[in-house]
Amino acid sequence: MRPLLLGALLASTSVLADELAIPTSARKDIELTVYENDLALIKDRRAVTLPAADAAIAFEGVSRNMQAETALLRVLEGPEIDVAEQVFDFDLVSPQKLLERSLGKEVTVVSINPATGKETAERARVLAVEGGLVLNIGGKIHTEAPGRIVFDTMPPGLRTSPTLVLTVNGTAGKESQAELSYLSGGLGWHADYVAEYDADAGRLDLNAWATIVNTAGVDFEKATIKLASGTINRAAPPQPKMMERVAMAAAAPGYADGVSEQALGGFHLYDFGPKVDLGANETKQLALLSGRGIAVKREYIVRGELYYSINQLPVSPPESEAESSISFKNDVAVKLGLPLPAGVVRVYGQDASGAPQFLGEDNIPHTAEGREVRLTLGREFDVTSIREQTNFIRASDNMTLVSWRITVKNAKAKATPVRVIEPMSGDWEIAKASTQHAKVSGAAEWTLDVPAKGQATLEYTVRTRF
């Protein structure tokens, strides 16, 4: 069907007398595509029967964070509906709003005689609201209500829920299946991972949960949920019509039951097959993916600072503990190979009694298939390093020669390989070293085999030109 872009946004919040309410009970289906940066595309399908060819229809219960300028109305079945104007009413009813809209008007004050329990009703005029309530009751001024306030009618312009009012033209008396699509804030999601690490086997079991947060002020019952992982450009308002439903790929091994994934544009879209109830102000977790028996590599890393390679240090840096990390490649060879959304990975291990213990956590970025995942769990106090700058020569205005001795100690009962990573700046080269190095991403890197209850020493000289 032909999509109809909604017309200009009106500043007025007046309600037409012949307005037709389209409540959430008329909803036939609702679909949420939730992005990671507090954004969602909402597609709300409802049955609409126009009372007249020209009418005002009110979609009740839309998100209070609706971006009304992105709204799109489509008729999926039945007669077409043309939209001329729209009003987004999010001025919701509350005791304060009722009083503000009743300023200068009469209300009823109902009080109860504490001795007899008899109710007394008096008419009162609202004189002021801001800064405190002021009423005129029987010619006397009261600065607070002596009882509960009863309003004669609902003041115009107030709503019980956020509402989009559309001035439309169509065929009267015939039902249309209309879908209202719009972008909204107040909805977002992120991935949370739980990993069980078996250090003896060098294996990891990984489970991912999609954590969805709804602060849009509305319940979404029996909603189709899709989660988009990646970054979209929002320099210009995106057009919802570009986000039509497309055929989903079959669920890949590793995804939770009912979940399928596809690449769409620059991001990945995860589709949860079963309908989901997502309540207002609710955080819900849905199973996303899992991997079992993932082969991982445990590493200890001694890492230097960038300024070590170009500056003279009069005092040696203090002894430091090595980083403790695990890593694996995101591919089928290690029983994974799924696009991993960014999130926090919390790693657990088992103590001697078999009870789970928290080992540490780390963030991972969006990780495509075939990329490495590295998790830093903390510091290893059994593996430490001591540094000593053995020489510093400023050979010219734009060249230095710096020499270091790094001693790595291992208090463990078994030999441990340790990676030493020294960041470098400028145009650099290792002039000499006690063992062979690798040049990796602006750093020199060595692997030392440190014996049990022993130590290993690395000595090197770096020549840097600026």
Number of structural domains (the chain) is 3
State whether 83 and 9 are in the same domain.
yes
pLDDT average, residue stretch 312-316: 91
Backbone angles phi, psi at 303, to 5 degrees: -120, 130
Rg (CA), the chain: 33
In a domain, 322, yes or no: yes
Q: What is the bridge-based pairing of β-strands 297-303 and 416-423?
A: parallel
Q: Name the pLDDT band for 336 (thresholds 50, 70, 90).
A: confident
Instruction: Give Cα 251 to chain centroid, integer Å.
Output: 23
Tokens of 4: 């109809």
Q: Report the distance separating Cα 283 and Cα 186, nearest Å.
A: 12
Same domain assignment for residues 18 and 103: no
Is residue 276 a part of any domain in this protein? no
Are 290 and 256 in contact, with CB atoms under 8 Å apart? yes
Torsion of Cα atoms, 428 then 432 then 438 then 443, to 10°: -40
- Alpha carbons within 13 angstroms on the beta-carbon side of residue 310 total 15
pLDDT in tens, 346-391: 999 999 898 999 999 999 999 988 999 999 999 999 999 999 999 9
Give 266-299 pLDDT, tens digit per residue: 778 888 878 999 999 999 999 998 889 999 999 9
337 Rama class: left (phi>0) / alpha (psi -120 to 50) / beta: left
The pLDDT of residue 156: 76
Q: Cα(118)–Cα(126) distance, rounded to whole angstroms?
A: 24
- Is the per-residue pLDDT at 12 higher than 70? no
Q: Are residues 404 and 455 in the same domain?
A: yes
Please write the tens of the pLDDT for every residue from 184-213.
999 999 999 999 999 989 999 999 999 999
Structural domain boundaries, residue 87: 4-30+44-92+158-184
CATH number, domain of 311, equals 2.60.40
Whether 12 and 111 share a structural domain:
no
Task: Give Cα separations from 455 to 298, 325, 406, 458 (angstroms).
Answer: 19, 20, 10, 10
Q: Angle 133-135-139 (CA atoms, 0-180°, nearest 5)?
A: 160
Segment 426-466, tens digit of pLDDT: 899 999 999 999 999 899 999 999 999 999 999 999 999 98
Same domain, 386 and 430: yes
Distance CA(400)–CA(350), nearest Å, equals 49
Last residue of a domain, one of 124, 150, 176: 150
pLDDT of residue 233: 65
Specify whether 392 is located in the same domain as 407. Answer: yes
pLDDT at 244 over 70: no
Report if residue 275 sits inside a domain: no
Is the C-alpha dihedral spanning 332, 289, 294, 440 positive or negative?
positive
Domain-located, residue 257:
no
- Would residue 176 count as lying in a domain? yes
**Tokens standing for 38?**
């507090």
Q: What's the predicted TM-score (pTM) here?
A: 0.72
Return the pLDDT at 324.
Answer: 95
Mean pLDDT confidence for 160-189: 92
Per-residue confidence (pLDDT) for residue 245, from 0 to 100: 32
Do 67 and 84 fall within a single domain? yes
- For residue 106, count other CB atoms closer than 10 A to its CB: 13
Residue 91 has pLDDT above 80, yes or no: no
Beta-bridge partners for 233? none
* Pair (15, 144) in one structural domain: no
Least confident segment among 301-305, 321-325, 367-371: 367-371
Same domain, 69 and 137: no
- From residue 20, give the alpha-carbon distance in Å to each of 28, 39, 80, 312: 18, 29, 17, 79
* Residue 164 falls inside a structural domain: yes
Residues 12, 119 share a domain: no
To the nearest whole number, what is the mean pLDDT of the chain?
Answer: 87
Same domain, 57 and 177: yes
Angle at 323 between CA 319 and CA 329, to 5 degrees: 160
Q: Is residue 163 part of a domain?
A: yes
Whether residues 134 and 64 share a domain: the answer is no
Question: Is residue 292 in a domain?
Answer: no
For residue 15, the model assigns a pLDDT of: 42
* Arithmetic mean of pLDDT, 176-180: 94
Report whether pLDDT(72) > 70: yes
Return the pLDDT at 317. 92
Report how far residue 397's alpha carbon sits from residue 57's, in angstroms, rounded to the nearest whole number.
77
